[in-house]
Amino acid sequence: MRRTRYKPEIKRNQTFALNITSMTDMFTILLVFLLQTYNTSEVQIENVMGLRLPSSNTEKNPVYGVKISLSQDELKLDQTILAHVKNNEFESGSIDNNDSNFIKPLFTALQKINNESTSKDKLGRILFQADQELPYATLRKVMYTASQAGFPNLKLVTVAGN
């Protein structure tokens, strides 16, 4: 005796109903995930006159931090001039006599910010704009002084492009 397999009866005129509840849940979760991970930059970086930033291919957004700019002529903290630069060297009055890499006015200004700041976003972070023609030795003095003042996280600001 041979068994026959059960074949359900197929109705040709029957309509197909799609249950989209689970699909809606999936798209809602995906939308919430994308909205949480979407990030727009709220940090405003202003152009400094006479400063040509190097170009970079990075796609990261800038973070909050203290803004320092170093051009061929001057070192600024936000819009305040801290020291003058001539021939890629800081003026002699702004450099410490015992340490040739230490910029006294920058250290004083950063210490003041560090002592007054209650914002966790700015604490220890610097957005550093530097002219692309300056030698590394000049940039290193600013980085060294900033780290001595309690700002070890330094982000170099660049122009997007090739």
Q: Examine the pLDDT at 158 and tell me if it is beyond 70.
A: yes
What digits encode the pLDDT tens for the residues 28-73? 998 888 887 775 556 556 666 666 766 666 666 667 788 899 988 9
What CATH number does domain 55-160 carry, 3.30.70, 1.20.140, 3.30.420, 3.40.50?
3.30.420
DSSP state of 159: E
Judged by DSSP in three states, 112 sits in: helix
- Report the predicted TM-score, pTM, of the whole model to 2 decimal places: 0.63
In angstroms, the Cα distances linking 100 to 10, 70, 92, 96, 126 are 90, 17, 10, 6, 22
Rounded to whole angstroms, the Cα distance separating 91 from 88 reads 10
Tokens of 58: 């990075």
DSSP for 72-101, written as a single string: SSEEEETTEEEEEEETTEE-GGGB-SS-TT
